[in-house]
Amino acid sequence: MTAAVREPGRFVTGTALFREESWGTVEDVRPIGVFDSGIGGLTVAAAISRELPNEQIYYFGDTARCPYGDRDPEEVVQYSIQVLDFLYEQGVKMLVVACNTATAAALPILVERYDVPVLGVIQPGARAATTISGHGKIGVIGTAVTVRSGAYEWAVKEVDNSADVISLACPAFVPLVERGDLQGPEVESIVRESLETLVAQSVDTLILGCTHYPLLQDTIQLVMGSRVRLISSAEETAREVRLRLAAAGELNTSNFHP
């Protein structure tokens, strides 16, 4: 970044804004950039907003090229870089890849590309699942790219190597959400057919490994049964955002927005 330029009441670094309060503290009022392939990442943006109500969020949903789940990983990397380059140019203080497919395919590349923190949604969800699971039998549902990558198995076993992880691609779910079909007999039938394998495996915890899936949470819970704990990566990622910003001293604790 360029050198900071002093202006009355704030520091300007490119488009990055810092506000100096009267008692001498500096509020980092730069926005947080959140990206997904479509509308599913709004679940993450909403969770961040609840966790950090003073923060400004810039959201980019790539609905023109959604879904990412059936694309080649190289395409996903290319699209992710294009979107995150745009968000980075807006002067964000953090980039959140609120898309499991993009996290699985591109996160290491994205982390190296930018000089602000880049967070994905896989590791926070995996950590929560290992904490909650009573018997270490953890199911993961996601897009084909996410499941083929093995990213969740790796993340879960990094925390608990004894965990039994059963992954299942559910390609029908994202189109349902993008169309706004969230409940009803037809939706329940599709969800029941898609999850038949996991129901038979008797998992005790199920990671919703796509940020679209929490919008189908009620139907998924109905099909899986009340004893199965559902893990939304959205809430866990929001907590990770708060912890990372707090550790870096970059929280906006005021109600000021530029």
Q: What are the catalytic residues?
A: 99, 210
* The three-state (H, E, C) secondary structure of the chain, written as one string: CCCCEEECCEEEECCEEEEECCCCCEEECCCEEEEECCCCCHHHHHHHHHHCCCCCEEEEECCCCCCCCCCCHHHHHHHHHHHHHHHHHCCCCEEEECCHHHHHHHHHHHHHHCCCCEECCHHHHHHHHHHHCCCCEEEEEECHHHHHHCHHHHHHHHHCCCCEEEEEECCCHHHHHHHCCCCCHHHHHHHHHHCHHHHHHCCCEEEECCCCHHHHHHHHHHHHCCCCEEEEHHHHHHHHHHHHHHHHCCCCCCCCCC
Crossing angle between the packed helical segments 151-159 and 100-113, to the nearest 10 degrees: 80
Distance CA 238, CA 50 (A): 8
Whether a cis peptide bond, with omega within 30° of 0, leads into 8 is no
16-20 and 10-13: which strand pairing? antiparallel
